[in-house]
Structure 1
Amino acid sequence: MVSTFSRRGDLAPEHFVPVAWQPWKLLCYAAMLIFAIAVGSTYSGPLTVLVKVVFVVFGALQFIGIFGLMHESAHGHLARSGRANRLLGEVISVVVGTSYPGYRAAHLTHHSRFRTEADPQEVIFPQRSAPVTMALLTAASVFGAPIFLLVRAPFIALKHNNVVRSVWGPIAAVAFYATLCMVLPSAQSSFLLLTIVAGAVLGSLNDIVYHQGLVADNTLQASTSFDCDAFGQMFLSGANRHAEHHAYPAVPGPRLVKVSKILRDDFLARGVPYERSFTMAFARRFVTNPLFLPVTCKSGPAGAER
């Protein structure tokens, strides 16, 4: 998709340099996750249910943040050393429960074959009947992330790697979480599982508004850019600037805020949809287009200019 509307030379070289502090976010996410489970699982004061829900959501956001670091690693942004970048990605894949080589291959193909039938992360391609597309989009909005990570990515890895390399991440994840559930008291293990489920659902809801409910063609109009940079940097490693990310996938996430300011006027002229927050975008599209079906673009029927 990059060659369609952008060139690396459009931005200064410093925008493409990985940020040295980004790997340390993994320790912060782990510490905050432990804190959320420890407090949320034992709290019994006023407004118990509400407080527990808050800590479940807070813990789920840490999982989403950890996934964001794996996304950065897939693009080679997590460390300046290629070896360190890959090792960090492999470690994170165990926490997330997926195959790192499968995820990386799928996601990079998503960028290079965006909005085509070769895009392994796309729900609306290959084109199917309207009822089937509606069902897939509905399921993807709630469970799309875990299905892709736990099932799709390992199968994609098997096409390019040996069995051990392809599935060791998911197997190690099962062993890791099974061990935790046996070691932790029941209250903590139950809260951990609930937090994982919440992270999977919130991650799916988050992902659906990046591209769905928009035009079906391979243009800037098919990616939403979100202005919630504080949240985006804290939990998404900059992926909230999604149109900019697709235009310049070689730019590390933490640098996308500055890049977005440079590109905004041009992107607005090109029809990039800008939203304030994920919640508002999801609510608006759900009300106007409950099943997040592709919409018609100004130049003709959706998908006509692939």
Structure 2
Amino acid sequence: MTSERTRTAPTRRDTSRDYSVLAKIVRDCGLHRRRYAYYWTRLVATVTAFGLTWAAIVLVGDSWWQLLLAGALAVILAQLAFLGHDSSHRQVFRSHRWNDWTGRILANVFVGLSHTWWTAKHNAHHEAPNREGHDPDIAPGLIAFTPAAMAVRHGWRRWFARRQGWFFLPLLALEGLNLHVASVRTVLGRGPVTHRAVEVPVLLTRLALNVAVLVILLPPAIAAAFLAVQLGLFGVLLGGAFAPNHKGMPIVPADADVDFLRRQVLMSRNIRGGIVVDFLMGGLNRQIEHHLFPSMPRPSLRRAQPLVREYCSTLGVTYTEVGFFASYRIVVGYLNDVEHRARDPFSCPLAARLGR
């Protein structure tokens, strides 16, 4: 008489607690403590630089040296946008109200962007980075970021899509204008806008004054060149702070069920660099840590990085970090060959057998 041994299928290791373990490690290190001195210093210094730059514009007057001031203003506006980003993620103050209104003032008054539009779009990205149908940053548009978007392009649009990597950097120069247009469409649209009575008049007045002051102070040619330089560099700085962090990383199918830690780590890329990269990217070069802990103050991300890297190593989770220029080579190469280089990290046979 023989006994029959029951065979059981392999079970997937429970990954639901992986993030909570890492979160406790980070919390015990005190990395979520507010960094008031850091943020007040940057807020005061950047707003002061904004005011001094406009004073210089008035003093310089009719001169092509204004283009240098246009570049300086673009850099300052990008820094104000990064501070607004941090406030929207509740990194600056303990009070939700203080964070919200700081972000709203920085966005609408100084930068000329709708706080409502920006937070809704950016929160959707954080919730599902690189996930088809969920992440607005890879939604179909002028650039095709996924094979599905490529499949429906024909004629000149398909020709462009197969070479779009070479156009990507020049197109970033139009991103500043695109951000302003999207903001105006949002506040004037029929969709819900938080504090619409504040955002509509403040945003429209800010954008109109920016143009009106330049037209009054400067000859038409210099005013037009000033706007072109300021908007173009502003778009490059903002787009350049976000694009290298996710483009060329795995694309997640719409129906994939991925735990939070892997959803944020596997689809994000850190950018190596020193103080210059930190400044130009507003701290977003530590994208993995920011996605894992979006409310962590920006200066604490550097201290969290070795903890996250070591923990991912123990789990066997790929932690991606490349140099600044290498990241752009990856992005350009990916965009020129989206059909073949878009990867689904959860499509291997073992993953299919054990469940996504």
TM-score, normalised via structure 2 length: 0.67
1:282 equivalent in alignment to 2:328: yes
In structure 2, the partner of 1:295 is 342
Q: Which amino acid aligns with 1:63?
A: L
Structure 1 pair 211–125 and aligned structure 2 pair: CA distance change class (3 A): same
Matched residues in 1 for 2:215 and 2:232: separation? 18
Local SS of the residue matching 2:129: coil
Matched residues in 2 for 1:202 and 1:66: separation? 12
Shift of 1:115: 2.8
Q: Which amino acid aligns with 2:83?
A: L
Where do residues 239-278 of structure 1 align in structure 2 (5 Å cutoff)?
Answer: 239-267=284-312, 269-277=316-324
Matched residues in 2 for 1:126 and 1:65: separation? 34
Structure 1 pair 169–211 and aligned structure 2 pair: CA distance change class (3 A): farther
Q: Which amino acid aligns with 1:100?
A: H
* Unpaired stretches in structure 1, ≥5 consecutive residues: 44-48
In structure 2, the partner of 1:201 is 236
Structure 1 pair 145–54 and aligned structure 2 pair: CA distance change class (3 A): closer
Shift of 1:112: 1.6
Q: Which amino acid aligns with 2:111?
A: V
1:6 equivalent in alignment to 2:23: no
In structure 2, the partner of 1:150 is 181
Shift of 1:238: 1.8
In structure 2, the partner of 1:46 is none
Q: Which amino acid aligns with 1:264?
A: R
In structure 1, the partner of 2:275 is 230
In structure 2, the partner of 1:129 is 150
Q: Are the equivalent residues in 2 in contact too, given 1:97–1:170 (CA < 8 A)?
A: yes
Count of paired positions: 295
Structure 1 pair 152–119 and aligned structure 2 pair: CA distance change class (3 A): farther
Matched residues in 2 for 1:61 and 1:280: separation? 23
Alpha-carbon deviations, 1:31-69, whole Å to 9, x = none?
Answer: 445666748x969xxxxx9x9887655543322211111
Matched residues in 1 for 2:323 and 2:197: separation? 43
Q: Are the equivalent residues in 1 in contact too, given 2:241–2:282 (CA < 8 A)?
A: no
Local SS of the residue matching 1:77: coil
Matched residues in 1 for 2:102 and 2:237: separation? 24
Matched residues in 1 for 2:213 and 2:66: separation? 20
Shift of 1:241: 0.4
Q: Which has the greater radius of gyration?
A: 2
In structure 1, the partner of 2:118 is 103
1:82 equivalent in alignment to 2:96: yes
Shift of 1:236: 3.7
> Over aligned residue pairs, what C-alpha RMSD do you find?
4.0
* Unpaired stretches in structure 2, ≥5 consecutive residues: 1-15, 140-144, 253-262
Structure 1 pair 221–58 and aligned structure 2 pair: CA distance change class (3 A): farther
Alpha-carbon deviations, 1:204-261, whole Å to 9, x = none?
Answer: 2332211112211245222111122513543444211001111121212121011112
Shift of 1:152: 6.0
In structure 1, the partner of 2:191 is 159
Shift of 1:184: 3.5
Structure 1 pair 27–17 and aligned structure 2 pair: CA distance change class (3 A): same
Matched residues in 1 for 2:191 and 2:147: separation? 19
